[in-house]
């Protein structure tokens, strides 16, 4: 029989893995772009959807 703490730990691990994959899937527009470039785009008035564009 699996204890409650083991089930809870497994659920937290599963949710964390899911959210990591979800984040990597939903935020691909910032791949290979430096934070400085994103900051310049934000300060330059670009829309949030376009901040990862070169």
CA distance 5 to 15: 15
Mean pLDDT over residues 31-45, rounded?
86
Residue 33: what pLDDT? 81
Say which residue, 19 or 26, is predicted with more confidence: 19
Say whether pLDDT at 28 is over 80.
no
Mean pLDDT over residues 39-52, rounded?
86
* Predicted structure pTM score: 0.51
Cα torsion 24, 30, 36, 37 to 10°: value is: 180
Mean pLDDT over residues 7-30, rounded?
89
Residue 1: what pLDDT? 63
Contacts of 54 (CB under 8 A, 6+ apart): 33, 37
DSSP code of residue 24: H
Number of Cβ atoms within 10 Å of the Cβ of 9: 11
């Amino acid at each position: 029989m699996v204890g409650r703490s083991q089930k809870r730990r497994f659920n937290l691990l599963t949710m964390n893995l899911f959210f990591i994959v979800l984040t990597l899937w939903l935020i691909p527009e910032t791949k290979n772009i430096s934070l400085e470039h994103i900051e310049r785009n934000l300060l330059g008035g670009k829309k949030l959807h376009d901040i990862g564009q070169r």
